[in-house]
Amino acid sequence: MKNSSQPILTTAEIRAVEAACARRGATDLMQRAGLAAANAARSMLGDTAKSVLVLAGPGNNGGDAFEAACHLKQWFFRVTVFFSGDATKLPPDARAAHAKWMKHSGATVSVMPPGSFDLIVDGLFGIGLKRAPKGIYAGVIEAANQMRARFGTTILALDVPSGLDADTGAIPAAASGVRAPATAIRATRTLTFIALKPGLLTLSGTEHCGEIELAGLDIDAALPGKAAGRTIGTDLFASHLTARRNNAHKGDMGSVGIVGGASGMAGAALLAGRAALKLGAGRVYCGLLMDPAPAFDPCQIELMLRPAAAVIDPDLVNALVLGPGLGQAAAARTLVERALAAPIPLVLDADALNLIAAKPALAAALAKRDAFSVLTPHPGEAARLLGLSVAEIQADRIAAAEELALRFGCPALLKGAGSVVATDGSHWFINATGNPGMASAGMGDVLAGLLGTLLAQGWDAKDALLAGVHLHASAADACVAGGIGPAGLTASEVTDAARTLFNEWCGT
């Protein structure tokens, strides 16, 4: 299924939008947010008189919660509001919303009530939170999560689940250097206001947000014309999604070379080759390092197997996938040197990335390439490439992807839940498709093969990377929707689903 990309705004950009709205005289954003929240809650509850616990925090997110509570009470739901702050210290709009609630009901509770509720509305903390909730708020978050686990209570988070960093998707530690359980709401649904935020879509956001719904609050005029961040949708590369010409031949479809497959790891190269073939490459050559190498792939006899060095030939292939099962022996390093020097578009994955990270000369050669290159590291490989720890990479995945693109002069994909693509130092994308079934061997090899075909068919590096990561993860979703996985989903099954989905995208 085709879908459209959407802008993603950081906390600073959201604040700028809110300021622009204020200058235009739009001073009722909190009322709009509260009504949107109440409508979302009502859709989750139905129209029977059910019980709602609203958690109102000490800032503007709490004001949104008070506004929602007023509507829900008017609609005859049984509403209890938790608020433990000092109402006189609330921001002006939130203070007014608190007064409105007190006029409607006359009461809040300052301790978490016992028992269970049909719905919890989480309005404790919004996009401004950069530290772990502590004290009573940490306890309230834990109690809400336990209520969900024990009684099946649904939770609606307003703007962002409390405790989640809206910019990074990280859950701040309780104290520096202390390893403690994550303190963040696990929502059933998150209703986010104005625009999507990065932290909802990557890292822990994928665990804590549940279903994400956007309430734009009718302020399109205040949104920036071009956001630095966007979700990945098929509209970003739609010009490439065309049906094949009737008189096309295999020479038009591109030739892909796969370089890897050291002893004991031939399967990685073959998976990449099969994926390249099934996405429509005219020819696929698998250059294997293992000795002796098999004469053919009995599961995919259309693949042409060659010695690894023979595949690095611009007269033979239109794109190279370098790394699946490559290993890090001296022979592998020589192949990386040759490939980086060749005028062929490159997909750099797995051990090719590890060798580049370990050898400064290879990194320098990559940065100087004229032909297209794309990098596809997971967090561990990214950490080695940037000389950081995995924790530092994961603490700000967008910044890490941008640094990879800048340092090596080519588009970079940082894999993981909410994969991040950076094309330069100013534009980045988050892929919002995919599922936990992709945590299995060979998935990265399949993605590399898909990317190789797109490059071989003349796609530029940016569009190929955006399309490849979106297709790969969307195919995994199609598998799960069809009853395959998530547990036990295999890379080969994703390959077949990607072929079907790509043909749908191209209208064939």
| Residue range(s) defining the domain that contains residue 162 | 7-227
490 inside domain: yes
Residues 330 and 441 in one domain: yes
Q: Is residue 428 a contact partner of residue 402, using CB atoms and an 8 Å limit?
A: yes
- Domain final residue, candidates 227, 252, 273: 227
Residues 298 and 412 in one domain: yes
Instruction: Report the run of H or E that residue 444 belongs to, with start and end.
Output: helix 443-456
212 inside domain: yes
pLDDT of amino acid 456: 98
pLDDT average, residue stretch 329-353: 97
CA gap 465, 453 in Å, rounded: 11
- Domain final residue, candidates 203, 227, 251: 227
pLDDT of amino acid 190: 98
Residues 378 and 461 in one domain: yes
1 inside domain: no
373 inside domain: yes
2 inside domain: no
pLDDT of amino acid 105: 84
Residues 203 and 309 in one domain: no
Residue 165's contacts (CB-CB under 8 Å, 6 or more residues apart) are: 129, 130, 171, 172, 199
Q: Indicate if the pLDDT at residue 121 is higher than 90.
A: yes
pLDDT of amino acid 175: 46
CA gap 322, 297 in Å, rounded: 19
- Domain final residue, candidates 227, 249, 284: 227
pLDDT band for 174, please (50, 70, 90 cuts).
low
pLDDT average, residue stretch 465-469: 98
CATH of the domain at 241: 3.40.1190.20
Residues 404 and 272 in one domain: yes
CA gap 459, 254 in Å, rounded: 11
CATH of the domain at 111: 3.40.50.10260
Residues 280 and 199 in one domain: no
CA gap 79, 66 in Å, rounded: 11
Domain count of the chain? 2
Q: What is the mean pLDDT of the chain?
A: 94
365 inside domain: yes
pLDDT of amino acid 421: 98
pLDDT of amino acid 464: 98
CA gap 206, 488 in Å, rounded: 20
Nearest Cα neighbor of 399 from 227, 201, 198, 251 is 198
Residues 84 and 221 in one domain: yes
Give 204-224 pLDDT, tens digit per residue: 999 999 999 999 999 886 677
Torsion angle in degrees (nearest 10) through CA of 247, 248, 250, 255: 160
Residues 109 and 212 in one domain: yes
158 inside domain: yes
pLDDT of amino acid 296: 80
Share of the chain above pLDDT 70, in %: 98
Residues 443 and 490 in one domain: yes
H-assigned helices in 228-315: 266-278, 308-311
Residues 245 and 222 in one domain: no
Give 16-53 pLDDT, tens digit per residue: 999 988 888 878 999 999 999 999 999 999 877 799 99
- Between 323 and 264, name the one with better pLDDT: 323
Residues 121 and 240 in one domain: no
399 inside domain: yes
Q: Is residue 317 a contact partner of residue 344, using CB atoms and an 8 Å limit?
A: yes
Residues 242 and 221 in one domain: no
